Amino acid sequence: MRTTQQPIAPALRLSQEVAGALAQGSPVVALESTIISHGLPQPRNLEVATELEETVRECGAVPATIAVLDGVACIGLDAGELKRVATEPGLRKLGFRDLPAAAALRASGATTVSATSFLAARAGIRVFATGGLGGVHRGWTDCQDESADIDMLSRTRITVVCAGVKSILDVPATLQRLETRGVTVAGFRTDEFPGFYLHTSGERMDWRIETADEAAAIMRAQDALGGPETALVVANPVPLAEQLDPALHDRVLAEALAAAEREKITGQAITPFLLDYLVRGTGGASLEANLAAVRGNTRIAAQIAASWSKES
């Protein structure tokens, strides 16, 4: 017996502004949507989302906030769609692996780093700004818990501006995995890998750049050399004056890790548990440091996109 199948929604939908900018070779910056739906309380989440888009425009680029709405991967959101991501209850959190299911079942969700990186590259966007990457979790030798971000960055030609990886992770192990997977990491005006909420993790990096033009030059060299379609991670630290107090960070993180072990929090639940514990345990100071990092990363990403578009 033949069955009638409901057609799958279109895979991608670029906003008119984003499509026009890409067609003209104008700079475009991808922005993830999980910080809007899952990372900030209402109504501040919408205010921050709007602020980040304005920052991109002030730097001469076009913002492309990415989310999946009713099964369609939307590359660039209008005001109503941005508000929907910020306010709709039950919005899913979508990694790359979730995208086919979301498309087929017409689900809606905010995109993580892995999903945003994939969709941005698929749309022809080369530069992406976020807060912190996922990576190798502490205790990984026992549970092999590693973020899908690493795998996606190892096979996606995109430049990600971030404040390092989330400080709840095993930073040295994450840097080793990025090296193994062929992902280039360069510090933006720093020799030490940033610590997300903290100015530095204390881990040294092999490459340092001083300008957006140097980042764009590395991107061109990636293309000229060929080889695997790996990413460029531009690690930009949160300013010292805006970082979370290191002693407070270390104390609350130790408490959070102990609480997670007591309550047997594992798998996908561990990251939101620890981050939420840090927000509450620092009286919101960790959230402010995160936002300071995202603002700086967005500005630099727009500058890199502008430099990249000049000769591309």
Confidence of residue 167 (pLDDT cuts 50, 70, 90): confident
CA distance 151 to 178: 9
Provide the CB-side half-sphere exposure for 201 (13 A, CA): 24
Pairing of strands 109-111, 62-69: antiparallel
pLDDT number for residue 144: 62
CA distance 193 to 5: 50
Is the pLDDT at 187 greater than 90, yes or no? yes
CA distance 65 to 71: 16
Q: What is the mean pLDDT of residues 193-215?
A: 97
Q: Is the pTM of this model over 0.75?
A: yes
pLDDT number for residue 312: 64
Instruction: Pick 103 or 144 by higher pLDDT.
Output: 103
State the catalytic residue, choosing from 51, 54, 166, 255.
166
Backbone angles phi, psi at 52, to 5 degrees: -65, -40
pLDDT number for residue 248: 97
Is the pLDDT at 40 greater than 90, yes or no? no
Answer yes or no: are the C-beta atoms of 158 and 184 closer than 8 Å. no
Q: What is the mean pLDDT of residues 99-122?
A: 96
Instruction: Pick 38 or 305 by higher pLDDT.
Output: 305
pLDDT number for residue 3: 40
* pLDDT tens profile 253-308: 999 989 988 998 877 677 788 888 999 999 999 999 999 999 999 999 999 999 99
Answer yes or no: are the C-beta atoms of 188 and 235 closer than 8 Å. yes
Ordered structural domains, the chain, with CATH: 12-310 (3.40.1790.10)
- How many beta carbons lie within 10 A of that of residue 179, not counting itself? 12
Q: Chain-wide mean pLDDT for the chain?
A: 92
pLDDT number for residue 4: 43
The pair of three-digit structure tokens given for residue 170, joined into one six-digit string: 């095993």
State the catalytic residue, choosing from 32, 83, 210, 261.
32
Is the pLDDT at 56 greater than 50, yes or no? yes
pLDDT number for residue 268: 66
DSSP secondary structure string, 241-289?
A: GGSPPHHHHHHHHHHHHHHHHHTT--GGGHHHHHHHHHHHHTTTHHHHH
CA distance 307 to 17: 20
Task: Decide if 32 is catalytic.
Answer: yes
Confidence of residue 6 (pLDDT cuts 50, 70, 90): very low
* pLDDT tens profile 60-98: 999 999 999 999 999 999 999 999 999 999 999 999 999
Confidence of residue 146 (pLDDT cuts 50, 70, 90): low
| Least confident piece of the model among 7-21, 54-68, 209-223, 282-296 | 7-21
Confidence of residue 311 (pLDDT cuts 50, 70, 90): confident
pLDDT number for residue 1: 37
